């Protein structure tokens, strides 16, 4: 009799345990926690532009890209253009003109370290135009990485 009760108890306990295990929560990281990077990839700047030219930069770019954007607009946009198309107001005085960063087939061929070298050591270091000065002593490594991550978004945007 005693054994029977203990068996019963055990069976009940185990079945409760098993039942609790049932809910398929294995993919919880993909379902429950919203992946902010997904939103960032699918929304382009133009989608989010409303009537007074407001761009929801918070949804479009992540932190590194936002910081990169700020640095890019400060140092680079005078020649490379605010949208990276190589059409900054000063580009018309340059020969050769800066290449467009929105050209994705061109940009995808350039590695991160290549871009980093151009920014840090200037165009001359890679036998490109001397008119691209070296910014290695002006902006830090981290800032350079951020600028590069922003530049990458320019080509991606054009691709969509």
Residue pair 148/112 in contact by the 8 Å Cβ criterion: yes
| Between 20 and 105, CB nearer to another protein | 20
The least distance separating another protein from the CB of residue 153, rounded to whole angstroms, comes to 14
Q: Which residues bind another protein (CB under 8 A)?
A: 1, 5, 8-9, 12-13, 16-17, 20-21, 25-30, 32-37, 50, 52, 54, 58, 62-64, 67, 70, 74-75, 78-79, 89-90, 93-94, 122-124, 129-135, 137-138, 142
Residue pair 68/149 in contact by the 8 Å Cβ criterion: yes
| Between 101 and 135, CB nearer to another protein | 135
Torsion over CA: 59, 60, 62, 63 (sign): negative
The least distance separating another protein from the CB of residue 120, rounded to whole angstroms, comes to 10
Residue 82 burial by Cβ neighbours in a 10 Å radius (0-12, 13-18, 19+): middle
């Amino acid at each position: 009799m005693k054994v029977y009760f203990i068996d019963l108890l055990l069976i009940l306990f185990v079945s409760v345990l098993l039942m609790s295990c049932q809910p398929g929560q294995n993919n919880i990281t993909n379902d429950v926690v919203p992946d902010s990077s997904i939103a960032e990839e699918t929304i382009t700047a133009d989608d989010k532009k409303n009537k007074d030219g407001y761009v929801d930069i918070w949804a479009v770019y992540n932190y590194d890209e936002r910081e990169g954007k700020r640095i890019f607009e400060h140092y680079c946009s005078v020649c490379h253009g605010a949208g990276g198309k190589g059409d900054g107001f000063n580009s018309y005085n340059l020969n050769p003109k800066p290449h467009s960063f929105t050209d994705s087939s061109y940009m995808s061929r350039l590695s991160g370290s290549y871009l980093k070298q151009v920014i840090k050591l200037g165009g001359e270091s890679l036998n490109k135009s001397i008119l691209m000065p070296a910014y290695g002593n002006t902006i830090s490594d981290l800032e350079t990485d951020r600028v590069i991550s922003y530049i990458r978004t320019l080509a991606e945007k054009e691709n969509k």
